[in-house]
Amino acid sequence: MSIEQAALLTVLGAVVFLDQWPAFQSMLSRPLVVGAVVGVVLDKPADGALWGALFEAVYLGLLPIGAARYPDAGLATLAGSAVALSAPASVAPPVGWAVAVALATGALGDHVGGFLRRWNGRTAVYVREQVTAGDLSAPGRAIAIGLLRGAALGAGVSAVALTVGLGGLALVVSTPWSGPLPRSVIVLAAAAALTVNGTRLFVDGRSRLSAWGVGLVLVVAAFGLMG
Amino acid sequence: MQGVGFAWAIAPGLDRLYPDPRARGERLLAHLEPFNSNPYLATIGIGFALRLEQEVARGSAGADYRLSRLIKALRSSLGALGDDLFWVAWRPTLGVIGAAVALATGSPIAALMYWIAYNALAQSVRWRGVRAGFASGAGIARVLQDPFWSRASGITKTAGAAASGAVLGGALWAASSGGLGGISVFFFITAFLWLAGLRRGSRGRWLSPSVAFLVVVILLSVVVRVSAGGLP
């Protein structure tokens, strides 16, 4: 990975972290999208799409409802995909190391997100005081500062994750400890995770079970007809 | 920071309604209360608050109290509706479809289509929310009780269930090309992930989906290593 690519991924980390909840929430931070963008940055778009789909399957069931705490799936995907795509083409994809780095990055992103929420909470108290004192531009300033600090934290987490992930990759890539798996097995594992998490999420009654069965039968029939 | 964000979003309206900075500051302060809702439907609350703010500016008796009370009631209703439609239904359904297409084709176009499809609904609701909230005024309950919300969520979840079944069908077909070994591997992974995600009393699941997936990867790597490429 070149310095330019690493810098681009760090900037992407800032955008992904902001998109997760502090700002846009346009789903640029979803694993499917992050994986594809990482693939484009590292000039391996097809592999990026595969790793994005894999992490989308793994993190599909995380729902940001109420006070739920959950790993930062976007930063996890950024680090995991970047590590997987940086392995030499001569070895099998180091899926074990990539998933481990992703899990650790997701947990770190969750902690940093909690820290940012508390920080923003203190800022909100400060904004009230400023508005009470007659400074009506305080909310706008607080939002701008909140975005800047979110971007800095997202970029920081990405930089740490990429450094650790790529540094570790150099040590484990040619050993069994990287979890080398053939591409076909990775696709099967991702499809299994997608099936399990999707079924768990949606099949909650007889009518949805029927829809699930219809989807299954239709696809098998379609493949059967195509031979 | 939705409280600060809400106040910032409503500030241009307050500028027009209250030329006096002191009165504007008092009303801005009233909108700095926490507004914990859904990010896409929060705009309905902004439009609604602006409509009632007009009454406050006209000096209607008790309008500021009514506004404060209704906004508190509205934020949880908007949160519940938005969470059910966007977080529980729309996002994961598109996620299943997008991930399945990406796995099948290996094309990043699937991610682009996912992003466009998600935002087609989310950003249009966000954009139209201010107008809808402002136009509804006291009739905001009708907007919240509109069958559109439950119908859209129900249809989307049914589509998500069908897509999940379709993924299983496609995966079984792909696994069968690897013979009995391929189908066995797929069933092992699926069964392990399913069992790992079962609820364990009141203490949550045995393993989180991501940790369960890591365990699967490690086990598969050991098997591949031991059988030296005997898997599909």
Q: In this complex, do A218 and B169 lie within 8 Å of one another by their Cβ atoms?
A: yes
Helices A95-132 and A138-172 cross at an angle (nearest 10°) of 160
Q: Are B108 and B24 in contact (CB under 8 A)?
A: no
Phi then psi for residue A180, to 5 deg, are -70, 130
Identify residue B136 by its one-letter amino acid code.
Answer: S
In a domain, A34, yes or no: yes
In a domain, A100, yes or no: yes
Nearest-CB residue to A216 (from B106, B112, B166): B166
CA distance B68 to chain A (A): 17
How far, in Å, are A81, A134, A176, B98, B152 from residue A16 at the CA level?
14, 35, 32, 19, 28
In a domain, A186, yes or no: no
In a domain, A153, yes or no: yes
For residue B231, pLDDT over 50 is answered with no
Q: In this complex, do B160 and A198 lie within 8 Å of one another by their Cβ atoms?
A: yes
Phi then psi for residue B195, to 5 deg, are -65, -40
Q: Which chain A positions have a beta carbon within 8 Å of B112's beta carbon?
A: 36
pLDDT at position A101, please? Answer: 94
Q: In this complex, do A124 and B92 lie within 8 Å of one another by their Cβ atoms?
A: no
Cα separation of A109 and A22, whole Å? 13
The answer, for B114 touching chain A at a CB cutoff of 8 Å, is: yes
In a domain, A107, yes or no: yes
Single out the residue of B37, B33, B26, B41 nearest to residue B7, CA to CA: B33
In a domain, A159, yes or no: yes
Q: In this complex, do A58 and B189 lie within 8 Å of one another by their Cβ atoms?
A: no
**Number of folded domains that form chain A:** 1
For residue B53, pLDDT over 50 is answered with yes
For residue A123, pLDDT over 50 is answered with yes
Instruction: Return mean pLDDT, chain B.
Output: 87
How large a percentage of chain A has pLDDT more than 90?
Answer: 65
Name the pLDDT band for B145 (thresholds 50, 70, 90): confident
Nearest-CB residue to A32 (from B102, B162, B194): B102
In a domain, A201, yes or no: no
For residue A154, pLDDT over 50 is answered with yes
Q: Which chain B positions have a beta carbon within 8 Å of A43's beta carbon?
A: none
For residue A90, pLDDT over 90 is answered with no
pLDDT at position B203, please? Answer: 64
Indicate the length of chain A as a whole number.
227
Name the pLDDT band for B94 (thresholds 50, 70, 90): very high
How large a percentage of chain B has pLDDT more than 70?
Answer: 94
In a domain, A226, yes or no: no
pLDDT at position B81, please? Answer: 92
For residue B172, pLDDT over 80 is answered with yes
Q: Which residue segment(s) compose the domain that A137 sits in? A: 3-181
ipTM of the complex: 0.91
